[in-house]
Chains A and B, each alone.
Chain A
Amino acid sequence: MDIYLPIAEVSVNWPTLVILGAVVGFVSGLFGIGGGFLMAPILVFMGIPPTVAVASQASHVVASSTSGVIRYAGQGAVDFKMGGVMAAGGAAGAIAGVELFRYLRLLGQADLVVALSYLVFLGAIGLLMLHESLTEILRRRRGLPPPRKDRRRPLWLYGLPLRMKFPKSGLYISALPPFGLGVFAGVLSAIMGVGGGFILVPAMLYVLRMRAGAVVGTSLFQIIITTAITTILQAGRNQTVDILLSTILLLGGVVGAQIGARFAGRFRAEELRAALGLIVLLVGIQMGLELFVRPSDIFLLAPGVSD
């Protein structure tokens, strides 16, 4: 049942990969995220070189996001204008990110930066989500009324130039903040191999204060564009995309994503957020641990000889 991956140049058990794709797809459908942050560490754990894992699973993110966007678009929950502005930023970020990743590989610091990004971003977001959703759950248990929503947006959103109307998101703000968010997600996408949904969704909700219904669909739309560009760049510049690996992951992934999306309706939103927050936090800690634990061998082979 083992299959040899031509680019990763390792042999892996393919049913395991299909199951992994399905599980990550399920999580991704359930929470409305790309699921990349979960996939990359597991692939590395299975012995696939980190650079190949990060680059190949980006196309898994493309597939699961595509099926997500089609579903959300059917419900009219995608703001293509906002998504387009963010995707333009994402493209710029991805190009910069792939170059940055290449440079870091040459310096031998790529794995350090990846570990650090996981620890900082996943740790912070995981804690925030967990805190916010647990307070919500506790409040409901005690029967307290929900707090008054703070509808004010930060003033600087209006002070910036290039104001645009985003009717679906219910916004009339400068195009710069969404563009900037896109750039940030693009860089993360190249370095961590993630779509960046776990950062984008809270940022769109709490900073831009977009209409909640349009947030997930729009972030998925921007993720497709950003990760598609990242995949092409990784293949073109670094030759680290393994089409066989990504296809196997896809097969499980798309099925898992659809099943996950069905299950999403059965849980309360804050319970889902609490679970996702916990997963995000655990992955972040797991990835960050390697910075603090004494390595089994203080010498390490650094990839990236041929370029």
Chain B
Amino acid sequence: MQALPPPPPAIEAPPIEAAAVAAPAPDRSEATTGELRVAAALTDAQVHVDSGFTGASIVLYGAVFNPTPDPVDVVVVVRGPDAPVRLVKKTRNMGVWLNSRPVLFEGAPGFYMTASTRPLSDIADFGQLRRLGVGVDHLRIDAPEEVGTVTRYGVRDVVVSRLGDDYLDWRRAVIRLKEAAALYDTDPDGVEFVDRGLFRAEVKLPTVAPTGKYYAEVWLFQDGEPRSVSNLTLTVEKVGIERDIYEFAHRRPWLYGLLCVVLAALTGYGASRIFSRRD
């Protein structure tokens, strides 16, 4: 058996931290206007998936510097690595439920959650949320392969989706199914102020959360306008034996399969030896 190739290098530090070495104090948040600012951090920037992994809960906490008398809203958005989604629709043909052709949706994150102080629609208007891509309704999920251009009413190159009028149903289904798997979540009161200017939010990762790099954005809204944002990263990675098995299965799949079979045959052989001796 050949030695396994070395595991990929450890997660590189986010570039912001590299810059922070030179600067006297880490400053990951940027002010958009004036002194109104938000700063945030995670209790755990790395989540390890090992044999005991049953999901994780990370607390994001932060502070709001608000010299103005007007109230502010905090929106936390956590986005996992992109995972294209293939969706089929069941249709009834002669009493039997059959699957349609699968449709590939791109741009869907493998994990997406928002937590806020109020419902998103109360915090900012549709256009603003759409522009920032905040909220599951504003994710840029689409099915590019289904898009074609046709000539309609004499107008050339009209972009249409082959999914037709159902398009929104399909898109909503992607979100609904991900929500059912606890991979998407919208919590309109997930951001809780524990003290004046000090808030916390909980990020719940289910067991099926994809591994990879997660990005968290903490937005500060005032009067429906984004005033400040703080960016954080979070890494979910397999560690220990789970990682070794996963790497082995994907790098040397044939050898791995052979090993599985040999192991199974040996177990069967061993069991029959043990039991026959008892007779």
Contact = CB atoms under 8 A, between A and B. Distances in A.
Contacts of B257: 231-236, 241
B53 A11 contact: yes
B84 A292 contact: no
11 contacts: A67-B271, A74-B276, A112-B98, A228-B261, A232-B254, A250-B268, A251-B267, A257-B271, A297-B177, A303-B86, A305-B83
Contacts of B169: 299
Contacts of A292: 95-97
B170 interface: yes
Given A6-B245, A108-B102, A11 B85 contact: no
B242 A243 contact: no
B100 interface: yes
Chain A interface secondary structure, helix, strand, loop or mixed?
A: helix
A2 B52 contact: yes
B147 interface: no
B250 interface: yes
Interface string A288-302: 001111110111111
Contact of A243 (B90, B207, B245, B268): B245
B32 interface: no
Contacts of B149: none
A109 interface: yes
Contacts of A237: 253
B140 interface: no
Nearest to A224: B265
B265 A62 contact: yes
Interface in A43-69: 59-60, 62-68
Contacts of B160: none
A7 B246 CA distance: 6
A64 B261 contact: no
A300 B254 CA distance: 31
B23 interface: no
B265 A294 contact: no
A3 interface: yes
Interface in A269-306: 290-295, 297-305
Contacts, number: 186
A255 B271 contact: yes
A232 B151 CA distance: 51
A262 to B, nearest CB: 9
A246 B257 CA distance: 12
Interface string B81-122: 001111111111001111111101000000000000000000
Given A4-B50, A59-B261, A241-B260, A108 B267 contact: no
Interface in B250-271: 250, 253-254, 256-261, 263-265, 267-271
B90 A62 contact: no
Nearest to A56: B260
B272 A71 contact: yes
Contacts of A134: none
Given A67-B268, A108-B101, A112-B98, A4 B207 contact: yes
B272 A295 contact: no
B207 A232 contact: no
Interface string A83-111: 00000000000000000000000111101
